[in-house]
């Protein structure tokens, strides 16, 4: 049985402007070359930004996205552009973090996915948000996300 040819990726190899909003961003996927193997792929986003929907002030976070792919991998340039589109998007920390996780699950249908949103303080209180889909397959190593809790200066 011949493999079907994947659809052409629309963002790779050409200039791609930042999407106006997360809803307008195109997330693309590519075939997983090892669908018979359970492994963890990780994306670390050290400079994620969004806008507070109340004050219109910028919010900053470090995101860590881990997933065990099934048939699909997220194409990294499209992920970068999607995440960048939050720079002008007004949403609370919880909404941003969970929405990113849900959108990736809808696109990829992974065996397991978790996202940690480590948000910098706003009003003196840091807010960390964690969301997970599915169960980590038995025998798969998912390392700690490696982000220390916020401790201020010192």
Asked whether residue 79 is domain-assigned, the answer is yes
- State mean pLDDT over 65-82: 98
Say whether pTM exceeds 0.85.
yes
Asked whether residue 142 is domain-assigned, the answer is no
Asked whether residue 47 is domain-assigned, the answer is yes
Query: Which residues contact residue 41 at a Cβ distance below 8 angstroms, ignoring those fewer than 6 apart?
Result: 66, 67, 68, 69, 73
Q: Is the pLDDT of residue 1 over 60?
A: no
Asked whether residue 6 is domain-assigned, the answer is no
What is the DSSP track for the chain? -PPPPPPPPSSTTS--PPPSSGGGPPP-EEE-S-TTS---EEEEEEEEEEE-TTT--EEEEEEEEEEE-SSEEE-HHHHHHHHHGGGG-B--HHHHHHHHHHHHHHHH--SEEEEEEEEPPBTTB--EEEEEEE-PPTT--------PPP----
Q: Which residues are catalytic?
A: 52, 59
Name the pLDDT band for 101 (thresholds 50, 70, 90).
very high
Q: Are strands 112-119 and 128-134 parallel, antiparallel or unpaired?
A: antiparallel
Asked whether residue 125 is domain-assigned, the answer is yes
Q: Is the pLDDT of residue 154 over 50?
A: yes
pLDDT tens per residue across span 15-70:
899 999 999 999 999 999 999 999 999 999 999 999 999 999 999 999 999 999 99
Asked whether residue 81 is domain-assigned, the answer is yes
Give the per-residue pLDDT at 6: 53
pLDDT averaged over every residue in the chain: 92
CA distances to 9, 27, 115 from 76, in Å: 11, 9, 16
CATH number of domain containing 44: 3.30.1130.10
What range defines the domain where residue 38 resides? 25-134
């Amino acid at each position: 049985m011949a493999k079907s040819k994947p659809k052409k990726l629309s963002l790779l190899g050409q200039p791609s402007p930042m999407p106006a909003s997360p809803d307008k961003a195109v997330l693309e996927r590519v075939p997983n070359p090892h669908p018979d193997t359970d492994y963890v792929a990780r994306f670390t986003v050290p400079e994620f930004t969004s806008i507070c929907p109340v004050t219109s002030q910028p919010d900053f976070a470090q995101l860590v996205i881990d997933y065990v792919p099934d048939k699909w991998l997220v194409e990294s340039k499209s992920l970068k552009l999607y995440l960048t589109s939050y720079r002008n998007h007004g949403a609370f920390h919880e909404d941003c973090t969970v929405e990113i996780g849900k959108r990736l699950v809808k696109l990829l249908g992974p065996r397991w996915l978790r996202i940690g949103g480590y948000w910098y303080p706003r009003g003196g209180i840091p807010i960390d948000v964690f969301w997970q889909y599915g169960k980590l397959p038995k025998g798969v190593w998912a390392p700690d996300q490696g982000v220390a809790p916020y401790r201020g200066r010192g």
